[in-house]
Copies of this chain bind each other. A is one copy, B any other.
Amino acid sequence: MTAMNSPLLDHCPSTLPAQAYFDPAWFEAERARIWAREWVPAGRIDSFPDRTIRRVEIAGASVIVLRDGAELRAYHNVCRHRGAELCAAETEPLRGKLVTCPYHAWAYATDGRLVSTAFGTPTADFRKEDNGLLPVALRLWNGFVFLCLAETPPAFAPDIGIADAALSLAALDNWPMDRLVVGHRLETTIACNWKIFWENYNECLHCPGIHSQLSARVPVYAKGIMSPAESAETAAAPGPVYADGAETWTVSGRPCGPVFDGLTAAERAEGHRFVTTYPGSFVVAHVDYVRAMTLTPISPEETRLKAEWLFLPETLARPDFDLSDVVDFASTVIAEDAAACEMNQRGLRSPAYVSGRLMPQEFDIARFHRWVLERVGNDVPNLKAES
């Protein structure tokens, strides 16, 4: 019997059906109902230079993000005339405050209004006001640009595993997020469905077997759990988060630079704070640096993964700054998780595997599964009838 405040599940629920991880129909449903309806990350604010059009891809859609001074706007990368692509390059200068289609020279203002049809002379039935650029919702959070393709975007809802949304939204308020810059970037494609990545992220039963370095650093991980609350023993006597006096996720255990000023004592003691923004990203904030992870589904069985290490500019500038001490630690964890995810993906293609069972420790996977199912809806593609 688990204690009243234990997060452990009181039964072993089934997982999602196997085909949720490879069936193209599931993938299309998820793209339309999750990726095209939720807020997904598009990059750090400083990757969108002023007076520039930048092309980004979101849920299979090509989007242009314009920056004119402080103002960022996003539109679908398509002309209303006959559907030509407006911006072919990664970035283009914003010439004369107009977005001009390279095909027939239709021109749009930065607020999206159609300004000119060039040599085309529309008749009265054509209303310019109905033929402006197609807008994409945009919001900033802690220096990250998020986009949402939905006409009516949902609330922006980061997740720290507790029910209070306001607390989650404010979780990084004591970190100097807007001042951080990218000091290192790692990109890789892993051969698994995007949900496999999140399942692996949401449990630590695999930590002792898969992550030897990380489990040596974080004693509760070595017990196969994510937090002291999961076990009566560790709940009663939590002990320090890190072994051997380490303070952060670096190979040496030492911070890579000065500890952030504004953190509370509790935040310092925490060592790492994970903030999840389903379906596309999570941030892990340490006392000395922050890591942002972004994932993008490429196909039912391929997911693009991007890791960005964020630092204060003055930390990066220090003569004794040791980048590899920082990035080697999490890079090892990322590589171990990627291999585990691919092993999981290969296995569940077995025609005999219908679905699995979650262990009580996999409560965050259960929560993630509910999050997915609430969005994909009742008409999710069913288990294939046995043929």
8 Å CB contact of A350 from B83, B224, B346, B348:
B83
Give the docked Cα–Cα distance between A232 and B77 (Å): 35
**What are the residues of chain B within 8 A of A304 when measuring CB–CB?**
none
How many residues on A have C-beta within 8 angstroms of the other chain's C-beta atoms?
74
Contact between B118 and A62, CB atoms less than 8 A apart: no
Q: For the complex, is A121 an interface residue (Cβ under 8 Å from B)?
A: yes
Output the least CB separation between A136 and chain B (Å): 8
A82 and B356 contact, CB distance less than 8 A: yes
Looking at A10, A32, A206, the one whose CB has the most chain B CB atoms below 10 A away is: A206
* Contact indicator A351/B199 (Cβ below 8 Å): no
Of the listed stretches A40-48, A123-131, A238-246, A285-293, chain B binds A123-131
Residue A83 contacts which of B11, B123, B356 (CB distance < 8 angstroms)? Answer: B356
Cβ-defined contact, B76 with A356, below 8 A: no
Q: A12-B125, A36-B351 are in contact. List 4 more A-B contacts (CB 8 A).
A: A12-B123, A61-B351, A120-B361, A134-B352
Task: Produce 1/0 per residue, A123-157, CB < 8 A to B.
Answer: 10110000100100000000000000100000000
Q: How far is the CB of A70 from chain B (nearest CB, A)?
A: 26
- CB neighbours (8 Å) of A84 from chain B are 340, 343-344, 347-348
Known: A33-B387, A78-B352, A104-B209. A126 touches B12 (CB 8 A): yes
- Residues on B with beta carbons closer than 8 Å to the beta carbon of A349: 62
A103, B209: Cβ atoms closer than 8 Å:
yes
Q: Are A83 and B347 in contact (CB under 8 A)?
A: yes
A359: CB under 8 A from chain B? yes
Q: Which residues of B contact A112 (CB under 8 A)?
A: none
* In contact, A102 and B346 (Cβ under 8 angstroms): no
Give the residues from 308 to 340 in chain A that come closer than 8 angstroms, CB to CB, to chain B. Answer: 340
Residues in B with CB closer than 8 Å to A387 are 28-29, 32-33
Contacting residues, chain B, for A352 (C-beta < 8 A): 61, 76, 78, 134, 149
Residues of B within 8 Å of A33, CB to CB, are 387
User: Is A122 part of the contact surface with B, judged by Cβ < 8 Å?
Assistant: yes
Is the beta-carbon distance between B361 and A119 smaller than 8 angstroms?
yes
Q: Would A206 and B103 be within 8 Å (CB), given that A15-B83, A126-B357 are in contact?
A: yes
CB distance from A315 to the nearest CB of B (A): 36
Residue of B at shortest CB range from A349? B62
Q: Which residue of B lies closest to A119 (CB)?
A: B224
From 200 to 225 in chain A, residues with beta carbon under 8 angstroms from any chain B beta carbon are: 205-206, 208-210, 223-225
Question: Is A51 in contact with chain B by the CB < 8 A criterion?
Answer: no
